[in-house]
Amino acid sequence: ALGLGISYLMVGFLGGIFNNVSSQLGVAGAFFRFSFHVQPSSVLIAYCLGVILTFGVVTVASWRVSHLNIVTAIRALPDESNARTRSLLNRIWHWSFGPLLVLVGAYCWRAPWGDGYTNVLMAVTLLLAGVLILVERLLEPTSRPMGSRPEQVQRLLFTLLGLGLLAIWTVPWAALMGRATSVLDQTGPLFLAAFALRAPMIILGAILAIMFNADALTWLVSHLVGGISSLTPVLKTAIAYPLSTRFRTGMAMVMFAMIICTVVMMAVVIQATQALITLDAKQSAGFEITVSPTLLSFFDPITDLPARMANQTDADLSGVAAVGAVARESVAVRQVAAAGSWGSAQLDAVDPGYLAQAAQVYHFQARAAGYADDAALWEALRTRNDVAIVTPDLLVAATAPSAESVAANAAATEARGFAIPLPFLLYGVDPATATLPDLWIDVRPANGNNPFADTSNGDGVAPQRLQIIGVLDDSSTLAGGQIQTDLAALASLTGQPVTPDRFYVKVHEGAEVHAVANNLERAFLSSGLDAAVMAETFAAGRNVTRGILQLFQGFMALGLLVGIAALGVISSRTVVERRQQVGMLRAIGYHAGMVAFSFVLEASFIALTGIFIGAAAGLILGQNIVATFFTGLTPTAQNALPWLPIGLILLLAYGFSLLTTILPAYQAARIYPAEALRYE
């Protein structure tokens, strides 16, 4: 029932976001209509999944309890005391687990898949864990009677494991070794593994290092507050009980840390979307208004907006300073010199108005021979219809695929009966080059039966041959196409007049942008043009992104409430489990306030450890995401961390966790020694 209520609120939240965006853009909200709907089958499936998961956990716990050794259980010895009574299969697994991790780590080190960077991180992690587990197994014969390992050995091994995980997953090894590695360059599962593994490994490493050295931390705090005599015994007892059940305490910390990590990471990313993603000249090319056709434009299409504006007398268009046009076409492309197969790409044809603005904003990292500067390239694009420029993501230093692989792809395409083209790339071109070799491409429309096969010319249109004369210094431009040429080249390619997909308008300095946009719509009412201010469109899209991220952040906040409730359950259980211990403490001199404070410190130790570890991991992961996905858009912008939202999140998390422990602490403080120590 609570889940359905939360779902209803989330649907209303999403609907509000898209309705707000629709009203800002002036678009009918019917395109995004959110309504709350529940089917009995969905509720039944959700309930059954919860029951199955619950019974699975209970089954595992019951199996562990049923295999406890009687003496071990009565004397409250660790589970390792059962080592001598293990079955043969259990002992085989006990001794083979470490070597198995070492073998898997060695395979990851030499794995043929991936880029090698994430492989090495996973391999070193597995090798470290496998070697330390194997050392632990070898030291078991030297342990104390009943199989209890010495505390010093256990502390050393698990501390090394924790510190090793922190060193492996927090240190930017790629940057230290001078290697710029991006998760975007990785393939398949490694794309997700690079992010999915980092946070759990950091959290696990930090918790292991703290859990097995908490008594050292207690000693440090006791010496720092040595002037308060009554606080020293309370600190020691507050840390001793959580350490006696390390697994349960560690799992509670992991739950806290994972949720806090996700919430903090979302806060960092949300801040980055507001600070780093800005509408600058690179994204707008100096234009302020986007003019795009609608369904009504079919009856009166506009192919040359400046010419139509010159003949327009119904509206005041004096505020328009320049107009640029862009037409997009999906094409099949083949590199001539490499004799490669056809690939898919987006070709954007632009007019002189767009080129005049682009020349002031965009620059080239490489030019063909004979072009002394960027101005010569822009002039060639304006005057010739056999040249094109490309974005740097098309350049590949490797050689083109072999004829055998091309033939295999063609055979697979023929067997399927339809084309699944590979993306087009320019092979044999160093991305760092400043002077391009003689590069030519064949281009044809991607609208035939199989335009990407070498035996077809699409719909009979002959390919257009274009020379690549320049490589832009950034893949992000207003036009957006990987290949850019002029409108005349696209008209020659398709064999028919070109109707631009969108126009861009630059406004005179001092003119009111909204008034110019309204006048454009009024002037071309018969064509159904939609004029939108680019800044408002950009802000609306950014608000949608922020709203979706905040929705996920809300999901995590609900999980945090579950974690806080779990901490309250643990605190309540400790009162019941330790009734006699509390009575003994009261008998040796602990007054009620010391007992209550001890329980509060126990909960604080678990909550604060999980909160601070999760916050640190969230900051590391959030900064990693920002550096990978955002700074490439605005390299010169600085992203300030949202310390205030993060601080409020951490403060609220700790405050609510304290609220759940107040009642158990009060109950523990009311236990009388005589009642607690009485065996009845």
Could you tell me if 355 and 375 are in contact, meaning their C-beta atoms sit under 8 angstroms apart?
no
Dihedral sign for Cα atoms in the order 292, 296, 298, 300: negative
Q: Tell whether the model's pLDDT for residue 370 goes beyond 80.
A: yes
For residue 631, what pLDDT is reported? 57
249-263, 453-467, 531-545, 593-607: which has the minimum mean pLDDT?
Answer: 453-467
Q: Tell whether the model's pLDDT for residue 59 goes beyond 60.
A: yes
Higher pLDDT, 315 or 19: 315
Q: Tell whether the model's pLDDT for residue 54 goes beyond 80.
A: yes
Higher pLDDT, 231 or 331: 331
Residue 441, helix vs strand vs coil: strand
Could you tell me if 221 and 279 are in contact, meaning their C-beta atoms sit under 8 angstroms apart?
no
For residue 634, what pLDDT is reported? 52
Neighbours of 662 (CB within 10 A): 15
For residue 461, what pLDDT is reported? 59
Q: What mean pLDDT do residues 486-494 have?
A: 87
45-59, 299-313, 474-488, 562-576: which has the minimum mean pLDDT?
Answer: 562-576
Q: Tell whether the model's pLDDT for residue 628 goes beyond 80.
A: no
For residue 29, what pLDDT is reported? 42
Question: Model confidence at 176, in pLDDT bands (50, 70, 90)?
Answer: low
- On average, the pLDDT of the chain sits at 78
The pLDDT tens digits of the residues spanning 655-671 come to 888 888 888 787 777 77
Higher pLDDT, 136 or 217: 136
Q: What mean pLDDT do residues 323-345 have?
A: 83
DSSP structure string for 259-297: HHHHHHHHHHHHHHHHHT----HHHHTT--EEEE--GGG
Using alpha carbons, list the distances in angstroms from residue 18 to 35, 102, 294, 538. 12, 51, 20, 14
CA distance 505 to 320: 7
DSSP structure string for 45-63: HHHHHHHHHHHHHHHHHHH
Residue 382, helix vs strand vs coil: helix
For residue 145, what pLDDT is reported? 46
Question: Model confidence at 223, in pLDDT bands (50, 70, 90)?
Answer: low
The pLDDT tens digits of the residues spanning 397-424 come to 777 666 666 566 656 555 555 555 678 8
Which residues sit opposite 333 in a β-bridge?
Answer: 343, 443
DSSP structure string for 553-565: HHHHHHHHHHHHH
Alpha helices (H) along 424-512: 487-494
Place of tokens 């080190």: 109
For residue 108, what pLDDT is reported? 79
Which run of H or E residues covers position 471?
strand 464-472
CA distance 236 to 503: 72
